Amino acid sequence: MYRTGIDLSLGKHIYKKHGRRRKELVEKLRKKGITDERILKAIAEIPRHIMVDTALEKRAYEDTALPIGCGQTISQPYTVAAQTSLLELKEGEKVLEIGTGSGYQAAILCHMGADVYSVERHDTLYQKARQMLQDLGFKARLKLGDGTRGWSAYAPYDAIVVTAGAPVVPDDLIQQLDIGGRLVVPVGDRETQKMVRITRIAEERFEEEQLRDFKFVPLIGEKGWS
Ligand code: SAH
């Protein structure tokens, strides 16, 4: 049985360990312009160090991306915070994430009270993230597969976040947005991507905003890179 919220079955030390480092990270993110207190609180509480190799544990609260195996990375905390801010989430909204990776972004979204769905294409990462989220007591629904097609079974979503760089905005994701829904996706070449936010303002009316540059691992799949 899972429940939403911090589960202490992992042991309180997991949340106490590196608490000072997490606070310093939060202060850094504030200085970089992150203002949403719910996001900052989640970052102050979610143990990022359990999502990386023990050899990298000390670096878990640096504001950088770190390797998680399968040639993938756990996103930089600033990037996670920036993408989450752009989603403009309200409590209880349904969010689809493409690229579960370590499960860090998913854990942040769960902590904020979102109803989280997430797709990952690497089985090893999918299994690990599933176990980790379960251990933390979060009730996210995860799927192994190609997220460039979205996850139609649970559509429509209030928000969709893609945590890998896409060559174009995948059309299926736009179609799986609810009216008023926001899609946040980095789009560009394999080197750099512009953060794009698409809002579905009516059934067939969309608003697109282009924001600053980021650097993500590639989104690989039918509607992504080959
Ligand atoms: N949100 C993650 C970031 C992981 S990096 C975190 O917080 O750690 C991006 C992830 O997207 C990688 O794990 C990669 O395997 C995954 N990915 C790439 N293309 C994908 C696709 N088409 N469908 C699902 N996942 C994909």
Kindly report, residue by residue over 78-126, the tens digit of the pLDDT. 999 999 999 999 999 999 999 999 999 999 999 999 999 999 999 999 9
Following DSSP, what letter does each residue of 36-59 receive, concatenated? -HHHHHHHHHS-GGGGS-GGGGGG
Domain assignment present for residue 41? The answer is: no
Domain assignment present for residue 153? The answer is: yes
Reported pTM: 0.95
Q: What are the residues facing 74 on neighbouring strands?
A: 66
Domain assignment present for residue 39? The answer is: no
pLDDT of residue 13: 76
Length of the chain: 226
Instruction: Say yes or no: CB of residue 118 within 6 Å of ligand 1.
Output: no
Share of the chain above pLDDT 90, in %: 92
Domain assignment present for residue 42? The answer is: no
Domain range enclosing 190 = 65-214
Give the model confidence (pLDDT) of 155-169 as tens digits: 999 999 999 999 999
Domain assignment present for residue 83? The answer is: yes
Give the model confidence (pLDDT) of 38-74 as tens digits: 999 999 999 999 999 999 999 999 999 999 999 999 9
Mean pLDDT value across residues 143-150: 98
The number of angstroms, rounded, from the C-alpha of 59 to the middle of its chain's C-alpha atoms is 19
Clarify whether 226 is annotated catalytic.
Answer: no
Domain assignment present for residue 37? The answer is: no
- Residue 170 CA to ligand 1 center (angstroms) comes to 15
Would the CA dihedral through 146, 171, 204, 91 be positive or negative?
A: positive
- Residue 193 CA to ligand 1 center (angstroms) comes to 15
Q: Where are the alpha helices (DSSP H) in the chain?
A: 12-16, 19-31, 37-45, 77-87, 104-111, 123-135, 171-175
Number of independent structural domains in the chain: 1
CATH number at 124 reads 3.40.50.150
Instruction: Say yes or no: CB of residue 98 within 6 Å of ligand 1.
Output: yes
Query: d(Cα 36, Cα 15) in Å, to the nearest integer?
Result: 21
